[in-house]
Structure 1
Amino acid sequence: MPEVVFYPQNKSINVEEGTTILQAARSAGVIIESPCNGTGTCGKCKVRLDEKSLPNVLAKSRHYLSKEEEEQGYVLACETQITGDIKVELGENKQNGTLKILSRGHSFNIDLKPFIRKEYFVHEDVTKVFAGKEQLGIEAGDTTKENYGAVVDIGTTTLVASIVNLNNGDEIGTSSALNPQAVHAQDVLSRIKFSSDADGLKVMHSELTDKINSMIGKIALRAGISKEHIYEIVFSGNTCMLHLASNTCPESLGKYPYTPKISGAAYLDAAKYNIDISPFGIIYLPPIISAYVGADIVSGILASQLHEKDGVILFVDIGTNGEMVLASCGNLSATSTAAGPAFEGMNITCGMRAGEAAIEFFEIEEQGSINIKVIGETEAAGICGSGLLDMVGEFAAHGVIKKNGQFIDPESENVLHPKLAERLVRQDGKWIFKVTDKVFLSQKDIRQVQLAKGAVRAGIEFLLENKGVRASDVDKVLIAGSFGYHLREKSLINIGLLPKEFEGKVEFVGNTSLSGAKAFLLNQTYREKMKETVKSVEVLELANYKDFDRVFVRCLSF
């Protein structure tokens, strides 16, 4: 059996011939990022082999590799089978430590009425901890001043945790990180597939809970408080993420009629799910609307008070999934579309997450020159989601691409400013736009953005049409989420993700999944109110509409 050695971890494993490098890494407990879950469609699992190792592998595809990378011994881990002993060099991923993750979202004035309360009994010299009317546990002495709760926004790509003082509502501290599940499967559908067997579910649940425990532990250590005095933790996330957080198989979410196994509005024993807080601590899962409109959107509805506002308001959470809610004088309708991982920089040739060296801003100036901003103010290494949408939006506005998404041909169509035209060059016979010497956007990348924005726009169109609302009738558009917060109204309208009628009406409300979860934590009355509100939400399952494909194709146009 061939031996595989991974560097710099210096871990080795023997595998059967024909095993892929990615499979060998997972068996050895070595993480190689593979957002597409090994289907060969993202090109992010590049590893390097030395000269002696190259004859001992069979590489199926080199589609995502440049000639320079091939010459240096790079291969795709998911597409490369092992036929003999090899040494694998893994690149050091510094980006995950510099991710820009938003830990703030719009909220409202919250009256303090937490579900957890503590009461000191003088004669017994004990403090009793209550969840509502139920006694959770007893502590020696007077510990009433040490009363904390936590919230975690479990995003498909990122995690944000916060600890809150339940006695006064003050936030103690926050922590953010990449969701460790994303290295195995980037989007919700591939996450469902990965977790549909016992082994996959175990990996997803344990890696998530380990990371949550680490984040909560760091906040508590910095604040000088004990984790044992954290009595409740609220998990806010999409329906799939709450399945994985509660160690529930999400397989039913991937099959018609897409029925969740959990509905939220539930309490769990924290210890049973390996959450390291008080030994008698509890987890609260907010209510879920449907298989693809989850508790994160319910938290967003609560944070933005969408169900209590007058007028017509559209709430859109843009990410790997595009979830949206239309509020018409408090009456709510919701739907979701599979936008895919392009907005996160995945499935994009030079795409990366919003970390150091990622282009986050792009603008074409009057004389054809370009203006870019790079996270960390260093040399650009790739493009994150906000920069990507800026680029495609500017290309559409300045005629670099046609309405159908094709690059203009600078050799036969003399319509571009010379400075722009010289950035359009051929690579392997196809046009690319060179942003820097190392970073470019290809025709395939434009198509990925088209598909993603087309899905979200089609969802918006169906939601409006279903309620008989014209785009011009919408009073306000709330763009939620960490990714959405870093976008610009101009770019969203330029690429056609939002109709032109929304110009001047867009408000970026941030991480309302987290701020809404805090509202659930700090005032227990919202739990029952939102449970009832969710029952009245009309859910549009776009897969049931015959015209969806037609509208989707129409929405692909720039």
Structure 2
Amino acid sequence: MSLSGYVRTIELTPPALGNNTADAQRLEQVLKKELNTKNVHIPWHLVGDLSARLRQWHWQVKAVLFKDRRSFTVVDLLDPQDSGPVMGAAVDIGTTRMVIALMDLETGETLGETGFDNPQADIGPDVLTRILHAKTPAGREALKRLAVDALNQHLARLCKENNRTPDRVFLVAGAGNTAMTHLFAGLPAFGIIQEPYIPCTNILDTLDAADLGLAVHPRGQVFLFPNIGSYFGGDLLAGILAADLDQKDQPCIMVDVGTNAEIVLGNKDWLMACAGAAGPALESGVSQMGMTAKPGVIDRVRVDPETRDLIIHTIDDEPAVGICGSGMIDLAAALFVSGRIDIRGKLVTEACGDRLTNENDIPAFDLVAAKDSGTGRAIRLSQVDLNSLTSAKAAMYTILEVIVSQTAGLSFSDLARFYVAGTFGSFINPNSAITIGMLPDIPLDRFQVLGNTSLKGAEQVLTDPAAFDRVMAIRETITYIELNVNQGFMNLFSGAKFYPHTDTSRFPSVKV
């Protein structure tokens, strides 16, 4: 028997007078033994042709399997000589972007990846608008169809680019936050935003792809990562899986910054998590010049050690059109170490020189002059933008302090690894984040950027049957911490609103 995740080529002992087990039960017995499980389900639609197939294939068969909470399920039975691809699709169901990875289930290889804007934004750019739209059955169906149709379109294109066809996609695994999971599945989501904040469901059992309208194998199966609550979604569970937090001997932490900052702390013996609003100032739309990564967006800023001038880098070296979240953190760090902002995060008139301007009576710093930008307008950071960033970095540090120090009773130096996840985490410079007091001052070699852990966790579920059980175990054992009941949060937050902090001894590496 060849063993490769959910695709198993097995050989059965032919029946005889002294071995008269029925064909379906004969297959079940072999699969149970090899999978080391008590439960294997062979769907009724496969039983009718089973006897003829087993004899035609000389008692060998390639079984494509998947899991749910009760058993392994046989998705399809193939000729062992079938050389066609057996594929799966991992999906990151993001509020703004969706990403698909096409997987070879027999080798575990990623064949290709593609990302696209979530078309549900046509109904509402934010989750709240979409949830309100989904109050009616027609609204839910419209949102579901937008996401599913786009997924079908981009998956078909990805398959074509790899000389494959979607009907050879047998398994799909998707991870998103609680609201996005509900909207993707066409479920009511209003309870998520209405007290007492109860989702329709936290666990969606393995689904038939056809029921969702996915254009894959006719009997394809879909696993959507479970949620823990209204504000702790399957994307974070996928991240825990991708980071192997549940396997670590020493305490580690993972931070995923998006609209919220989602944090998980722990090891193989315990896990705790919390979420808080620390991300909006790092997203497009909050700052006048803020935008998501694309050509011309400023993604890095540094200070020339000799001239103290600011040196910017743009994506694809195009003329500057705006700045992304990681660029904002770099910029704040550069402004601070060069003395252009003070410990309160306020622009310093003398140090800013002729780059300081006023916009509607609000001080602002011209990072790129209008004549040098790609928009014909100055790329400008206002004091309002800086205040938003200061609040965001203070919130992030405070959330970390609450969960690490106050709740777990650890110090930051106890953390063996500090994982930074998400699209934002793919580009952040930890040194800049430490400089402004956003992340703790620990050795830089403890930081590890993981990228899109939501997608990576979904990939893992497709290629490792044990990952399914790990997800369910994590969900049952993790402790969620409510920050809004922490009495000392605001006091800690006030101290963190300085650069890098009111207690500078916490940041010994920051030299100004």
TM class, shorter-chain normalised? 0.7 to 0.9
Matched, 1:230 2:121: no
Change (3 A) 1:427 1:458: same
SS in 2 for 1:314: strand
- Find the counterpart in structure 2 of residue 487 from structure 1: 428
1:159-191, CA deviations, whole angstroms, 9 ceiling, x for partnerless residues?
A: 211111112212221111222234554454555
Letter in 1 for 2:449: F
Aligned to 1:525: 466
1:424 to 351, 356, 380: 356
Deviations, residues 489-542 of structure 1 (Å, cap 9, x unaligned): 112112221122465421112222212211111111221232012211111011
Tell me if structure 2 keeps the 8 A contact 1:118–1:130: no
**Of 432-441 and 124-133, the range deviating more from structure 2:** 124-133
Q: Give the equivalent residue in structure 1 for 2:326.
A: 386
Name the counterpart of 1:334: 273
Work out whether 1:539 is the aligned partner of 2:483: no
Q: What is the aligned partner in structure 2 of residue 307 from structure 1?
A: 246
Q: Is residue 85 of structure 2 the alignment partner of residue 146 of structure 1?
A: yes
Whether the 8 Å contact between 2:6 and 2:64 is mirrored in structure 1 is: no
Change (3 A) 1:529 1:141: closer
Q: Which amino acid aligns with 1:421?
A: G
- Spell out the pairing of 1:284-323 with structure 2 (5 A cutoff): 284-323=223-262
**AA of the residue aligned to 2:194:** K
- Change in 2 beyond 3 A, CA 1:526/1:473: same
Closer/same/farther in 2, CA of residues 255 and 461 from structure 1, 3 Å limit: farther
Larger Rg: 2
On the 8 A contact 1:396/1:402 being kept in 2, the answer is yes
Q: How many residues align?
A: 440
Task: Call closer, same or farther: CA 1:470–1:131 in 2, change over 3 Å.
Answer: closer
Q: Take 1:255 and 1:395, find their aligned partners in 2: how far apart are those partners?
A: 42
Look up the match of 1:451: 391
Report whether the alignment pairs 1:264 with 2:203: yes
Give the counterpart of 1:436 among 354, 368, 371: 368
CA contact (8 A) 2:247 2:267 kept: no
Structure 2-normalised TM-score?
0.79
Mean Cα deviation higher: 432-441 or 496-505: 496-505
Alignment of 1:371-410 (within 5 A): 371-408=311-348, 410=349
Distance in 2 of aligned mates of 1:117 and 1:500: 48
Q: What do the CA deviations read for 1:462-511 (whole angstroms, capped 9, x no partner)?
A: 11110111222222211011211101011211222112246542111222
Q: Residue 55 of structure 2: SS of its match in structure 1?
A: coil
Residue-by-residue CA offset, 1:245-292 (whole Å, 9 max, x unaligned): 111122222133332222236211211112111111111012323322
C-alpha separation in 1, matches of 2:7 and 2:91: 17
Match of 1:500, SS?
A: coil
Alignment of 1:111-130 (within 5 A): 113-115=4-6, 121=53, 123-124=55-56, 129-130=64-65
Tell me if structure 1 keeps the 8 A contact 2:8–2:62.
no
**One-letter code aligned to 1:538:** T
Partner Cα distance (1:446, 1:363) in 2: 17
Map 1:500-515 onto structure 2 (within 5 A): 500-501=441-442, 503-515=444-456
Equivalents in 1 of 2:394, 2:126: separation in Å?
Answer: 17
User: 1:310–1:510: structure 2 CA closer, same or farther, 3 Å change rule?
Assistant: same
Deviation at 1:151, TM superposition (A): 0.3
Does the Cα contact within 8 Å between 1:113 and 1:524 map onto a contact in 2? no
Q: Distance in 1 between matches of 2:437 and 2:186?
A: 39
Aligned residue type for 2:248: K
State which drifts further: 254-263 or 299-308.
254-263
Whether the aligned pair in 2 keeps the contact of 1:454 and 1:555 (CA below 8 Å) is yes
Between 484-493 and 291-300, report the one with greater CA deviation: 291-300
Tell me, in whole angstroms, the C-alpha distance in 2 between the residues paired with 1:512 and 1:160.
11
Higher helix share goes to which structure?
2
- In structure 1, distance between residues paired with 2:130 and 2:493: 24
Which deviations, in whole Å up to 9, do the C-alpha atoms of 1:305-345 show, x marking residues without a partner? 11111222111111222111111464111111123433222
Distance 1:131 1:500 in 2: 44
- Secondary structure at 2:438 match in 1: coil
Structure 1 pair 495–258 and aligned structure 2 pair: CA distance change class (3 A): farther
SS at 2:274 equivalent: strand
Matched residue SS, 1:177: strand
2:347 matched to 1:347?
Answer: no
| 8 Å contact from structure 2 (residues 7, 63) kept in 1 | no
* Pair 1:128–1:154, CA change in 2 (3 A): same
CA–CA distance in 1 between the matches of 2:471 and 2:142? 32
Paired residue secondary structure (1:376): helix
Equivalence for 1:67: none
Structure 1 counterpart SS, 2:316: coil
The Cα shift of 1:199 comes to 5.0
Conserved 8 A contact 1:162-1:172: yes
1:83 maps to which residue?
none
Instruction: Name the CA distance, whole Å, in 2 between partners of 1:223 and 1:131.
Output: 24
In structure 2, relative to structure 1, the CA distance for the partners of 1:169 and 1:127 (3 Å cut) is: closer
Change (3 A) 1:491 1:200: farther
1:243-282 superposed matches below 5 A: 243-264=182-203, 266-282=205-221
* Whole-Å separation in 1 of the counterparts to 2:90 and 2:163: 18
CA RMSD in angstroms, aligned pairs only: 2.6
* CA distance 1:377–1:337, shift in 2 (3 Å): same
User: Relative to structure 2, which stretch is displaced further, 131-140 or 210-219?
Assistant: 131-140
Deviation per residue, 1:197-251 (Å, 9 max, x gap):
5454344322221221122111100111111111110001222221111111222
Task: Tell me the distance in 2 between the aligned counterparts of 1:186 and 1:451.
Answer: 23
Kept in 1: contact 2:9–2:80 (CA 8 A)? no
Percent sequence identity over matched residues? Answer: 28
| Counterpart Cα distance in 2 of 1:127 and 1:548 | 56
Aligned to 1:204: 143
Using the alignment, how far apart are the partners of 1:202 and 1:554 within structure 2?
Answer: 47
SS in 2 for 1:266: coil
Q: TM-score, normalised on structure 1?
A: 0.73
Q: 1:113 to 1:555 in 2, by over 3 A?
A: farther
- Once structures 1 and 2 are overlaid, which stretch shifts more, 252-261 or 356-365? 252-261
Question: Contact (CA 8 Å) 1:156, 1:187: kept in 2 or not?
Answer: yes
Secondary structure of the structure 1 residue equivalent to 2:271: strand
| TM-superposed deviation, 1:545 | 2.5
CA distance, structure 1, for counterparts of residue 294 and residue 82 of structure 2: 41
Alignment of 1:1-20 (within 5 A): none
Secondary structure of the corresponding residue to residue 307 of structure 1: helix
